[in-house]
Amino acid sequence: MTDLFSDKAAEWDSRPVPLQISEGVGGAMLDAVHFAPSQTVLDFGAGTGLVSSRIAPAVGSIVAVDVSPAMLEQLAAKEALAGKVEIVCQDILHEPLGRQVDVVVSAMAAHHVEDTAALLQALFAHLRPGGRLALADLDAEDGSFHPPGIEGVFHAGFARDAFAAHAEAAGFVDVSFRTACEVDRDGKRFPIFLCTATRP
């Protein structure tokens, strides 16, 4: 599998947009989810660990999952996450971890997955009963958030109603949304939603 982030990983954490999103989304997740030191969290599409870094002090351990070796290499170098994070480079939609966690978090990864229904089914399967999902991504937009023709982007954001329907079809209950933050890019405002839900 081609690493679509190999040329971006080294300077990812210095980019203003990922920093702004991780701050807004991380804060919204901490506000919406009752994290606890006893919990294991799966960070789907963990990237360089920007969101993991924000929630790590509140939880016991994090399983950081991504398909980009280059991004995970940056995460592995962060001293603040040493001993707290287990790094897994695999596509858990096709190769599940074979274990369940207390919380699944994800930030700006869903639009890189072509089959949204399959994604939510996979995340549901990785949660223990009573486990929580906290997933952030773009609200439906006109396609201008990413450069034209960029590889690996399958969705120009998501309509909240349609995303909720996928989550409920996967088995989630108590599906709700809030706006985590808004990103200003090239003079346009792009809202980022946080969807929370529970595996019954």
Q: What are the structure tokens assigned to 112, written together?
A: 């890189």
What's the pTM? 0.92
- Closest alpha carbon to 29 in 15, 18, 43: 43
CA atoms within 13 A on the CB side of 125: 13
Q: What's the mean per-residue pLDDT of the chain? A: 91
pLDDT tens for 123-167 read 999 999 999 999 999 999 998 888 887 888 899 999 999 999 999
DSSP assignment string, 110-154:
GGG-S-HHHHHHHHHHTEEEEEEEEEEEEBS--S-SSPTT-TT--
The CATH number of the structural domain formed by 16-136+162-198 is 3.40.50.150
Provide the residue ranges of all domains of the chain, joining segments of one domain with +.
16-136+162-198
Nearest-angstrom CA–CA distance, 39 and 62: 9
pLDDT tens for 66-98 read 999 988 999 999 998 989 999 999 999 999 999
pLDDT band at 55 (very low <50, low <70, confident <90, very high): very high
* Listed range (15-19, 106-110, 172-176) with the worst mean pLDDT: 15-19
